[in-house]
Amino acid sequence: MSDRVPVLVNRSGGTASSKGDKLGPELEAAFAQAGVAIDLQLVEGDELEAALSKVADRPLVVVGGGDGTLGHMAGILADKGSTLGILPLGTRNHLARELGVPLDIPGAAALIASGATRKIDLARVNGHAFVNNASIGLYPQLVREREQHDAPKWLAALPSAIAALRRVKHHRLHLAMPGAPSDIVTPMLFVGNNRYTLAAGQLGTREALDGGVLSVFAVASRRRWALVGFAIRTLFGRADRDKDFAAIGAAPAFDVSGRSDDIDIALDGEVMRLDMPLRFECQAGALTVVAPPG
């Protein structure tokens, strides 16, 4: 089995869960068609890290899941110097889209078989990796509230937003950025791995994945109920640049401090609680991924 490529799939997320028992045979068939022998493991999300620890030193590890899964696994693989192959089996698959990874399983398997790779930046906060973005404030609260509803994400959006807004607070934060330290009051701080283009009507894509910087945006301070529209737009990835955000700047690394000892933070949509202050860093070219040339 040592010559087989390990393929670890979060069976409980996004597209993977919707395929049910068909997922395993579909993956086996796609890689067989691509001429790649694999060691397939379909595991629950909380079992992925343990599964990865057994194969992380392999030259190539394929991970199937959404952006939150990929971000966490990417940090481990980057530390090992291993290459990440992506099976976009999440809900939105932002990283796969921006890398040009095919969103269908046969196409992704064929790309992995091609061996094409590139190096991209990996972001971290207090050592925890993320590939797309991180946020503190309203969005992590929205995610926690939505997880309490046993309903599809779109159906849970409004009650989640209302519940989160009952508890939302404006965070007083100090950002220690090179040349531009600032004090802000905001219901949400957004940190992007590289520069985000906030296209009108949606939280946009990035200008590059290897620019070596983090971009920082703060949500405009406003009355509690005026945030309802923003909350709904955010849950569906349709935040508006002009109405919702104020650009703070960009830097390869910076610190965020506040009045709390710890704080909820969403990394690629997955929420955890971290001690303050927060140290954000962009590790230039730290992650090797299977992808078409940039």
CATH number at residue 177: 2.60.200.40
Does pLDDT of 235 surpass 60? no
Tell me, yes or no, whether 80 and 138 share the same domain.
Answer: no
Residue 84 has pLDDT above 80, yes or no: yes
Phi, psi for residue 281 in degrees, rounded to 5? -140, 145
pLDDT one-digit tens code per residue, 8-21 = 999 987 788 888 89
Is the same domain home to 102 and 134?
no
Whether residue 57 sits in one domain with residue 166:
no
Domain assignment present for residue 97? The answer is: yes
In a domain, 163, yes or no: yes
Decide if pLDDT at 131 tops 60. yes
Split at pLDDT 50, 70, 90, the class of 218 is confident
| In-domain check, residue 290 | no
pLDDT band for 2, please (50, 70, 90 cuts): low
Could you say which DSSP state residue 259 is in? S
Last residue of a domain, one of 68, 92, 115: 115
Residue 139 pLDDT: 75
Task: Give me the pLDDT at residue 222, please.
Answer: 60
Q: Is the pLDDT of residue 79 over 60?
A: yes
For residue 150, tell me if it sits in a domain: yes
Dist CA 59 CA 68 (whole Å): 22
With respect to residue 125, please indicate whether it lies within any of the assigned structural domains. Answer: no
φ/ψ bin of 22: left (φ > 0), alpha (ψ from -120 to 50), beta (otherwise): alpha
- The token duo for 215 is 């971009």
Query: Mean pLDDT, to the nearest integer, of 196-217?
Result: 78
Question: Both ends of the chain: CA-CA distance in Å?
Answer: 32
Query: Are 161 and 273 members of one domain?
Result: yes
Q: Give how far the C-alpha of residue 138 lies from the chain's centroid of Cα atoms, to the nearest Å.
A: 17
Q: How many domains does the chain have?
A: 2
Average pLDDT, the chain: 86
Q: Residue 88 pairs with which residues in a beta bridge?
A: 65
Instruction: Tell me which of 30-39, 108-117, 220-229, 275-284 is least confident.
Output: 220-229
Average pLDDT for residues 100-116, to the nearest whole number? Answer: 97
Better-scored residue on pLDDT, 237 or 181: 181
111 and 136 in a single domain? The answer is no
Q: Are residues 253 and 135 in the same domain?
A: yes
* Long-range residue pairs from 156-161, CB within 8 A, at least 24 positions apart, any chain: 157/232, 157/235, 157/236, 158/232, 160/235, 161/228, 161/231, 161/232, 161/235
Q: Is residue 158 predicted with pLDDT exceeding 60?
A: no
> Residue 185: how many CB atoms within 10 A of its CB?
10
Of 158-167, 180-189, 234-243, the poorest mean pLDDT is in 158-167
275 and 144 together in one domain: yes
Task: Tell whether 294 is covered by a domain.
Answer: no
- Residue pair 275/186 in contact by the 8 Å Cβ criterion: no
Query: Which structural domain, as residue segments, surrounds residue 163?
Result: 130-282
How far apart (Å, rounded) are the C-alpha atoms in residues 14 and 270?
A: 13
- What is the percent of the chain where pLDDT is above 90? 61
| Mean pLDDT of all residues in 164-188 | 81
3-state helix, strand, coil in the chain (%, to 5): 35, 35, 30
The band of 146, judged by pLDDT with boundaries at 50, 70 and 90, is: low
Cβ atoms of 105 and 31 closer than 8 Å: no
**If you average pLDDT over residues 112-123, what whole number do you get?**
98
- The per-residue pLDDT for 159 is 52
State residue 113's pLDDT score: 97
pLDDT-based confidence at residue 115 (cuts at 50, 70, 90): very high
- Looking at the fold, whether 138 and 110 belong to one and the same domain comes out as no
Stronger pLDDT, 111 or 187, i.e. the higher one: 111
Range with lowest mean pLDDT among 173-177, 237-241, 285-289: 237-241
- pTM score of the predicted model: 0.86
List, in order, residues 6 or more apart from 21 with CB less than 8 Å away. none
Q: Are 289 and 115 in contact (CB under 8 A)?
A: no
157, 63: one domain: no
The reply to whether 74 falls in a domain is: yes
- Check residue 217 and give its pLDDT: 87
Residue 24 pLDDT > 90: yes
Could you tell me which of 187, 252, 191, 186 has the C-alpha nearest to residue 216?
191
pLDDT at 155: 39
